[in-house]
């Protein structure tokens, strides 16, 4: 019942470049919230944005990028954090924006505290222009496409080193999960540093899907992993609790 209420609550508000039209998507996106929390949500203004579903009270606010200036803000955060970790990434603005014909289907999420960007994650949706992971791992992705599965990816994940990384990570993955469900994805890929494979497997339901290779986007070793979205759905309301037991470094 509350899924229908939330669908009416949002009406036509954009939550990514797509619309959350399915009541099932709302149900999955809000899993883990109490009925009291949902009641508070439904009392808010009807022209709410995504952050009204996924914000952390008094601290973390989440939004989906809707302008080039916000995209540049996310790019700058990725650049700073990746460079600090020794990754070889292009500076923001080094490449021109892709044309509409070249563009992938991606939704970029930004997490802010007091207006300052402290984290970002991008959810890619498979399309005729493919996924970023195709660049070196297409042989592991194409067989799943041929099965008719709806595929996506999580890329360009970055957190400011000064923030509570577990809480910010949980907030970003909660938001990313809503986009995955809104687009009815079956599986999502990620490329991670080999040192982080254990964390993503135990804490976030990912499984190794390919051998170690060099990721050309960061000039570093990476391992392809994949996650069944339904597995993340089963723990989405408890991510912050789950993550506190795992070191992130």
Q: What is the pLDDT of residues 58-97, one digit of tens each?
A: 478 888 988 888 989 999 999 999 988 889 888 887 666 6
Residue 82 lies in a domain: yes
Which CATH number do you get for residue 225? Answer: 3.40.630.30
pLDDT tens digits along 142-164: 999 999 999 999 999 999 988 77
Residue 168: inside a domain, yes or no? Answer: yes
Distances from the Cα of 240 to the Cαs of 29, 32, 131, 155, 167, in angstroms? 16, 11, 28, 20, 6
| Residue 222: closest CA among 153, 119, 128 | 153
Q: Note down the domain range covering 129.
A: 61-243
In a domain, 17, yes or no: no
Please tell me the pTM assigned to this model. Answer: 0.74
Asked whether residue 46 is domain-assigned, the answer is: no
Could you tell me what percent of the chain has a pLDDT over 70? 69
Find the Cα–Cα–Cα–Cα dihedral 99, 153, 16, 239, rounded to 10°.
Answer: -160
Domain count of the chain?
Answer: 1
């Amino acid at each position: 019942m509350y899924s229908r209420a939330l669908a009416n609550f949002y009406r036509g508000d954009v939550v990514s470049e797509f619309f959350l039209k399915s009541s099932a998507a709302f149900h999955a996106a809000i899993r883990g919230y109490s009925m009291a929390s949902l009641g508070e949500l439904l009392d808010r203004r009807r022209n709410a944005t995504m952050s009204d579903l996924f914000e952390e009270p008094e601290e973390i606010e989440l939004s989906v990028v809707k302008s080039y200036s916000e995209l540049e803000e996310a790019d700058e955060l990725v650049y700073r954090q990746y460079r600090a970790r020794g990754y070889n990434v292009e500076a923001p603005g080094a490449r021109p924006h892709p044309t509409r014909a070249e563009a992938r289907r991606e939704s970029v999420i930004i997490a802010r505290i007091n207006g300052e960007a402290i984290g970002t994650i991008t959810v890619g949706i498979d399309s005729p222009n493919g996924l970023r992971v195709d660049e070196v791992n297409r042989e592991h992705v194409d067989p799943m496409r041929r099965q008719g599965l709806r595929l996506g990816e999580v890329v360009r994940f970055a957190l400011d080193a000064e923030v509570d990384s577990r809480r910010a990570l949980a907030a970003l993955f909660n938001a990313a999960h809503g986009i995955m469900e809104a687009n009815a994805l079956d599986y999502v890929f990620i490329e991670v540093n080999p040192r982080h494979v254990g964390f993503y497997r135990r804490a976030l339901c990912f499984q190794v899907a390919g051998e170690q290779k060099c990721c050309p986007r960061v000039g570093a070793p990476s391992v392809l992993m994949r996650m069944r979205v339904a597995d993340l759905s089963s723990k989405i309301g408890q991510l912050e609790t789950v993550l506190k037991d795992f070191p992130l470094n």
